[in-house]
Chains A and B, each alone.
Chain A
Amino acid sequence: MDHNAFTIKIDKDLEDLIPRYLENRRRDIELIQEAMGKSDFETIRVLGHSMKGSGGGYGFDAITEIGKLIEESTKKMDTEEISRQIEALSEYLDNINIVYE
């Protein structure tokens, strides 16, 4: 994992929390996909909103950004954009390289 673009510096204090946080995001992806199958945009919106509210706090500004876009897309019921953002999130989670300091 030498993708510099995905190298994130995180406060050492948060080290214990990070794996669980990222695991929750992977679960979010599944939940969103599931909700899309049922056209349950409200669930997607809440998940996006919560990503928006938490990502930057941990140091993952990208997750906040993705969450924001997902939340906005649900208002327009833009499933295409939602899928794109899930993909972006998935790629981000796969390639992220965390440095604690």
Chain B
Amino acid sequence: MRMHGFSLKTKMATVVSVLFLFIFAAGALMFESTFEEHFKKTVADQQFELTSKIARDIDTQIKEAQKILISVSRIIPIDDLNNYPAMQKHLEKIVETRFFIRTFFDNGILLYSKTGRVIGEVPYSPERYGKDLSYREYFQYTAKTRVPYISKPYRSIKPPFDPVVMFTVPIFNRKGELAAILGGSVSLTKDTFLGGIAKVKIGRTGYMYLYNADRTIIVHPDKTRVLQKDMPPGANRLFDKAINEWFEGSGETVTSRGLHVIGTFKRFQNTDWILAANYPVKEAYAPLLKERWYMAGYTALGIFLSILIILIVMRRSLSPLSHLASQAEAIGRADERLRSVSVETGGEIGALAFSFNEMLKRLHDREASLKRTLEDLKEREARISSIMNTTVDGIITIDEDRIIESFNQAAEKIFGYAADEVIGRNVSILMPDPHQSRNDQYVQAYLKGARSKVLGTAREVLGRRKNGTMFPVELSISEADLGNRRIFTGILRDITERKKAEEELQKLYRAVEHSSAVVIITDTDGAIEYVNPKFIQVTGYEKTEVFGQTPRILRSGETSQETYRELWDTITSGEEWQGIFHNKKKNGEFYWVSASISPLKDTSGAITHFVGIQEDITAIKLYEQELQKAKEAAESANQAKSDFLAVMSHEIRTPMNVIIGMAELMMETPLNDEQKRYAETLMHAGENLLNIINDILDISKIEAGYLELEATEFNLQELLDKACGIMAIRARDKGIGLSCNVLSDVPVHLIGDPHRLGQVILNLLGNAVKFTDNGEVVLEVNKEASDTTTLLFSIRDTGIGIPDDKVSRIFEKFTQADSSTTRKYGGTGLGLTISKRLVELMGGRIWVSSSVGVGSTFYFTANFQLQKERPQTEPAAVAAMPEREILRPLRILLVDDSEDNRLLILSFLKKTPFVIDIADNGLAAVEKYKTATYDLVLMDIQMPVMDGYTATKEVRDWERSNNREPTPVLALTAYAFQEEIRKSYDAGFNGHLTKPIKKNDLLYAIAAYTKKTSAHKQYTDKE
């Protein structure tokens, strides 16, 4: 323990010093107050004495003045009273001879008649002579009382109008009657025996003044205040007291001007006058202040010296004690133990040091033993703590109030709380609500002495984690008596996993028990250890009958020995075996099972059991047999259907071909118009019927799955040329445009089924042309993506379009957008269905976007393979096609103003057998046309003299007027706008070629637009 605060020495010195300070200060104060009182009294007394003395002196002088005045009055010759000049002279003589009169009555001597008229005056003043002053207070009073009088102060009517008092004495005649009155005037501001009071000084600033009972100031150092009554009652306490209570003496008071003074008052004996002295306290007590400073100084010095002495003495007598204390403190603080303290002094302190050393020795011994105990304790604690914190069980101790005292690491992990969070809190936070109250009951019951079963035995309760989740806990509680209190130690184990495992096991057990499959478990020798209820149900054996037996009891002899051998070989090598047994029940009945037998292995991989799961498949086996029979029957029926279709196909087509052929033959015989019409109708109906039959056969084949696609090499360009060639004729007949474009990067040497692709294209083109009355049909082939062999075909028309609600059904069987269309346009309604199936067979899909009145675009994709070796003469192959096939030497009129174009076209057609005439403007062309018969006209639009539109119109007009068949006229135009194309049709053009013209386009167009050419035949023959 360290000693805090001040040392003993300091403390004692402080206490003694404070004591001295008080004593000195009190003494000084006492002395001071006594001295002050005495001093003040002395000042007051002295001042009163002074004032009294002056008052007495003035009193004496007043008396003296009256005596003088009386003596003067005696010598005034009464007989001459009415003789003014004599009287004046007498008076002047008297005053002259008696100089002391003037020293008292400095303001002059006056003689009044008995009526109050001035009858003499010294010094002489002629203007006052005879003046009636009987109104004067002093005259009236003296005349009435016939005794000497001292007037109240008043202001003289004679310059310099000084304030004065008048002394009067009466003069009697011989009969004793009042004959005259003698007056002596005394100035109050001059240095007379009265005015001199103003000159008296007390100290440096003290002064005296005179006033009467009327409060009129008679003499004052401040001359302006003379004759004033400016001291109202209450302004000066002692002033009032002097008037009202005849107070005489000194006292502290405040003047009417607010000055703090020692005031002294003394009454006169002969008048009602009061002499007052005022001595300002500030000056009067000045010595007192000085004395106070001296006093304080001496006191301070005294205290200082005393403290010094005390300190010296203390230090001397207390230093051994402080030495002892510092050593004791060092013992407390130091690491190494001091054996003892040394104090070189006797007396009480020496004895204290000795005792201290004794105590130190004992303390040392005790400390050593304590240290050993502590180390023991620490070791034990470490051991316990290591157990506490390494055990997987949560250990929690609580006190009798259920407050948690300790919480080990495992408990932290189990509950998710840190120890800090729960220590000091009620243990109930670790329990779900119902347990909180139950735990309270347990602990309470226990504390009452009724031992609860919860103590000492493990039980399952629910715990609550910090995050609020509940979990099962195995809890055992023990109690420890710590003497004054008890604590409870709870050991808990999170049994969530165990519970889960138990439940899992239970679940599996139930699954096996209630399984619809037979389950058998045997040991490694095949002895049955377990069978489930299904086993009993299926086999008819009881459990007791089969335990210890092997599954051989189920053998029927129908399953081959080979199967059993294979089974054993498989499962003993650790693999699962699956197979089918034909088994026998207890009652001898046979049944089929599908069995799966697998070995069970322990953790080391050694086989401990075999599990057999068997399903009774007797019913399935029977179904299978029936199914097999049904299938055979169905297959033969289907074959019959196919045969039927094939036969039908042949049987119907053969007569149909005969009918059509005969119709054709008939048409070549001479017929009248009616017969011709019948024959045509017969032929068309026949062709329609044949088409319908073909479609039906196709769809039947596709649906039956008999349709298989070819994979042959073909040229896409050729295929499209063919298809478009056929449709171009129909399009021209209807007066609509048709163009077929293969984009340049599209591969044309493909492997696929050209026949079926052609069928799809023809179907879509046919539909497009069929449903389009104005405008055009455009086929375009593109790659679906740059790196694919899937091609995208689009067929756009400007036809009637398909309503939105029909679009989705358009590909269904026997569907057309509108039933009315069927009547108008004909057809089976199977074409799109067949196309859709064919496209799907070609790995593509088909769809349509359409707008009623605007037109439709059908799209389809199809997948092809590329031919490995491309033919060498690619462009020639295409170009050569029309050239080779067109045998007839067509006559063509070429109209173009540009020599460049003419030469180009001539060059393109150089190798054909065509005969070509040339015109370089529209007018020349019309002239040429009229003179020859052409198979085709190629007409430029923009030309001098006459443009292509006008020329074509003229040609058409000429044809009509001459009953000529219309010759195909193709526009050669550099315009590519729809509007221009429309205009060209309006003008009577059959089609158009966009400039600059490519050789193939030209040849193709010529082939397409020249009717009855071999090119036409080429397309149709192959069909």
Contacts and interface: CB of A to CB of B under 8 A. Distances in A.
B225 to A, nearest CB: 123
Nearest to A61: B996
A57 B942 contact: no
Contact of B996 (A13, A20, A53): A53
A11 interface: yes
A55 B904 CA distance: 10
Interface string B877-920: 00000000000000000000011110110011010000000000
Interface stretch (A30-38, A44-52, A76-84, A90-98): A44-52
A53 B901 contact: yes
Nearest to B904: A57
Contacts of B900: 21, 24, 50, 54, 58
Contacts of A46: 942
B337 interface: no
A49 to B, nearest CB: 6
A69 B476 CA distance: 101
A99 to B, nearest CB: 15
B607 interface: no
A64 interface: yes
A52 B910 CA distance: 23
B974 interface: yes
For chain B, give the interface size range: 10 to 19
B941 to A, nearest CB: 10
A81 B540 CA distance: 105
B907 A64 contact: no
Contacts, number: 50
B745 to A, nearest CB: 16
In this complex, the member of B903, B908, B972, B996 whose beta carbon has the largest number of chain A beta carbons within 10 angstroms is B996
A54 B997 CA distance: 8
B974 A53 contact: yes
Contact of A54 (B898, B908, B942, B999): B898
B995 interface: yes
A17 interface: yes
A57 B908 CA distance: 10
Contact of B974 (A17, A24, A52): A52
Given A52-B974, A53-B898, A14 B996 contact: no
Nearest to B898: A50
Given A14-B904, A17-B904, A53-B974, A64 B996 contact: yes
B977 to A, nearest CB: 13
B996 A49 contact: no
B907 A17 contact: yes
B586 interface: no
B907 A54 contact: no
A19 B41 CA distance: 158
B74 interface: no
A50 B974 CA distance: 8
B899 A53 contact: no
B996 A54 contact: yes
Contacts of A11: 999
B998 interface: yes
B907 A53 contact: no
A64 to B, nearest CB: 5
Given A13-B910, A49-B974, A53-B974, A58 B999 contact: no
Given A21-B900, A53-B898, A14 B907 contact: yes
Contacts of B972: 53
Contacts of B996: 52-58, 64
Nearest to A64: B996
A99 B907 CA distance: 18
Given A24-B899, A53-B995, A58 B910 contact: no
B995 A54 contact: yes
B995 A57 contact: yes
Nearest to A52: B974
A4 to B, nearest CB: 21
Interface string A9-29: 001011011001100100000
A16 to B, nearest CB: 8
Contacts of A64: 996
A17 B908 CA distance: 11
A13 B907 CA distance: 7
A39 to B, nearest CB: 21
B974 A57 contact: no
A57 B973 CA distance: 12
Contacts of A14: 904, 907
Residue among A11, A54, A57 with the most chain B CB within 10 A? A57
A58 B996 CA distance: 8
Interface string B814-850: 0000000000000000000000000000000000000
Interface string A55-77: 11110000010000000000000
B998 A57 contact: yes
A58 B904 contact: yes
Nearest to B994: A53
A13 B942 CA distance: 27
A52 B904 CA distance: 14
A57 B899 contact: no
A80 B903 CA distance: 32
B232 to A, nearest CB: 121
A54 B901 contact: yes
A93 to B, nearest CB: 14
A54 B910 CA distance: 18
A65 to B, nearest CB: 11
Contacts of A13: 907-908, 910
Nearest to B901: A54
A45 to B, nearest CB: 10
Contacts of A52: 974, 995-996
A35 to B, nearest CB: 16
Contacts of A55: 996
A57 B910 contact: no
A53 B938 CA distance: 14
A24 B900 CA distance: 8
Contacts of A17: 903-904, 907
Contacts of B907: 13-14, 16-17
Nearest to A57: B996
B905 to A, nearest CB: 8
Contacts of B898: 50, 53-54
Contacts of A24: 899-900
A64 B999 CA distance: 16
A49 B910 contact: no
Interface in B960-976: 972, 974
A54 B998 CA distance: 10
B942 A49 contact: yes
A92 to B, nearest CB: 16
A16 B906 CA distance: 12
Interface in B174-227: none
B808 to A, nearest CB: 44
A18 B999 CA distance: 16
Contacts of B942: 46, 49
Nearest to B1001: A57
A17 B942 CA distance: 23
Contacts of B910: 13
A20 B903 CA distance: 10
A58 B904 CA distance: 7
Nearest to A46: B942
A49 B944 CA distance: 13
A11 to B, nearest CB: 7
Given A54-B995, A58-B900, 16 more contacts: A13-B908, A14-B907, A50-B900, A52-B995, A53-B901, A53-B974, A54-B900, A54-B901, A54-B904, A56-B995, A56-B998, A57-B904, A57-B995, A57-B997, A58-B904, A58-B996
9 contacts: A14-B907, A17-B904, A17-B907, A46-B942, A49-B942, A50-B901, A52-B996, A55-B996, A64-B996
Enumerate the 7 nearest inter-chain pairs by beta-carbon distance, A residue then B residue, closest first. A56-B996, A53-B995, A57-B996, A53-B974, A54-B900, A57-B904, A17-B903
Interface of B: 898-901, 903-904, 907-908, 910, 942, 972, 974, 995-999
Interface of A: 11, 13-14, 16-17, 20-21, 24, 46, 49-50, 52-58, 64
